[in-house]
Amino acid sequence: MAPRAPRERGEPPNTEMEPMIKVSQRGRWIRGCATVVACVSALALSACGGKAEHGSPGKAPAGAIGVNSYLWRATLDTLSFMPLASADPYGGVVVTDWYINPERPTERFKVTVYILDTRLRADGLAVNVYKEISNGQGGWIPSPAADQTSSDIENAILTKARQLRLSNLKG
């Protein structure tokens, strides 16, 4: 089939070629849109990356622990009488092993401290105390610890953290 000359105004459309022209124009339009979307997406993704630090308050500087250092040190100091099971300075979790007070050998305690913030704040600390009572046959039975016990440990840690901060500021 020989190529046809462009149609003149008022001439009826060539029904064989007209749909092919519309399809090829639509294909070019879709490819153009896809190219624009790909470029915009690449630009948006490039803005997300990068290694520059912008001083976000939630991040600790490189080489530092991931939580407030005063709360961390105060937690370790306050619970130093109990055996330490694990301590994660980046996650801010301190777990003690079971401690039996020599004056009360029928009960034992375990403490878990969560340091939740990089700032020295009262709500940046959570303390869980677990208590068990001896059943008299060498086993232990879980028992609820007094609510005041958690609060007392929390307050002792916060007081020690404030003292550490003040001694550091005084130099």
Q: What is the pTM of this model?
A: 0.63
What average pLDDT values come out for the chain (171 residues) when binned by 10 residues?
A: 60 57 61 61 53 45 76 96 96 96 96 95 95 94 95 97 92 64
Q: Report the distance separating Cα 30 and Cα 4, nearest Å.
A: 27
- What is the three-class DSSP state of 90? coil
- Looking at domain 69-170, its CATH architecture is 2-Layer Sandwich (3.30)
Kindly list the domain boundaries of the chain, sorted by start residue. Answer: 69-170
Q: Report the distance separating Cα 12 and Cα 133, nearest Å.
A: 99
